[in-house]
Structure 1
C-alpha cells in the first residue's frame, strides 16, 4: 500500500512539473530532463511512469480536461437562467486559466499537438452552445440574436483571457495594474448583456461582481 501511495505521489509530482514546463515552453520547447529536474525525481522514475514525452503530455492534457469538466459540471448544476449559466461558465474558465497550471498547459498542448489532441474547447464549447440555445427558448435573448454566434463570441472571449494570462504571466497577475483576465471578462459581459437581454439585467449580473 505504501509503495502504491508513493507511485501515485510520484506520478502526481511529474504531471504537475510537466504542466509547469509545458505551460512555460510549449511541447517542442520542453524536454524530459527539464521535467525531471523540476520535479526533483530521477530520470529512471520519470520514464518508468511515462516512457515518452508524448505520454507525459497526454497525462497533462487529461488532467487539465478533468479539471475543466468538473468546473463545467459545477457551474451547470446551479439553478439559474441558461444565459446566466453560460456567462458564469466563461468566467469559471477564465479563473481556471489564471489559477490552474494543468488547465493552461492542456490548452496549450491541444493547440501544439494536433491532430492527436482534441481541441481544448471540446469540453466546454458544446455546453455553451446548448446553454445559449436554451436561453433563446427561454425568451432570454432579444429577437434576432444568434445563439451560435453568441457561443463563438464566448469562445473568443475565453481565448482572449488565455492570451492575457500568458502576456501578463500567471505568477505576476497579483502585481499587474488594471483588471485581470477574469475581471476584464466580467466587464465585457456587462456591456454585451445590455444588448442581449430582454429581462431584468440584475438577474444576470450576480456572477459579474
Structure 2
C-alpha cells in the first residue's frame, strides 16, 4: 500500500469513526480519544489529517452531503420530474438516513453546529423546491396547493424520519415497517388527500 493509499484509508477510518461517535452522542459529546480508539489510529494521525474536532466534523458533513447529492442525482435520472420524484426522493433519503451513519451524522451536525445553511438540507431542498414548482406548472399539484406548503411538509417529514431513526426507529416501538416504509404510507395518504367525500 502506498503512502497516499494509507493516508486515504486512515482518513476514511477517522471520518467513519467520527460519524459513529457523533451519531451516538452528538457533536458536543464526541471525544477525539474515543474516535481514535474506534478507528484504531493514534491522536497524532488524527491531528495530521484533521487539525481540530470542527475540521473532522466538517469532513463528516461533506461526505454526508456528497452521499445525499449522489442519491438525489440518481432519483432525478430514474423518475419522471414532478410530484412523484419528490415522493421517491423523500422515501429514498429516509432510507439513506436509516442505513448510513455518515449521512445520519451529517444531518445531526447540521442541526447542532451550523450557523448558516445546513449542508444536509442543501443537498436536497433546492431540488425539492424545483420539482414542486414544476409540478405546479404541469398541473401535478391540485389547484390551491402551494409548492411552498408541500416543501414544508417534506422538510417536516424528513426531520421526523431522522428523529424516529435516532430514537430507535419502528423496531423500538415494536413496529416491523421501516421509517422509509412509514413515509411511503404517509405519502399515500397525503397524495389522495385526508378528507373523505362526505367531509
Q: How does the TM-score come out when normalised to structure 2? A: 0.91
Q: Secondary structure at the match of 1:124?
A: helix
CA distance in 2, matches of 1:60, 1:186: 28
1:54-103 Cα deviation digits (max 9, x unpaired): 11000001000000010001101124241100110001110011000000
Q: Which runs of 4+ in 1 moved over 6 A?
A: none
1:146-165 correspondence runs (5 A): 146-165=146-165
CA distance in 2, matches of 1:78, 1:71: 11
> How far did 1:145 drift?
1.0
CA distance in 2, matches of 1:176, 1:78: 33
Q: 1:115 to 1:174 in 2, by over 3 A?
A: closer
Q: Secondary structure at the match of 2:115?
A: coil
Q: Which residue of 1 aligns with 2:197?
A: none
CA contact (8 A) 1:111 1:119 kept: no
Gaps of 5+ in 2: 195-199
RMSD of the alignment, in Å? 1.9
1:12-161 correspondence runs (5 A): 12-115=12-115, 118-161=118-161
CA distance in 1, matches of 2:129, 2:116: 24
2:3 pairs with 1:8? no
Q: Secondary structure at the match of 2:12?
A: helix
Q: How does the TM-score come out when normalised to structure 1? A: 0.87
Gaps of 5+ in 1: 197-209
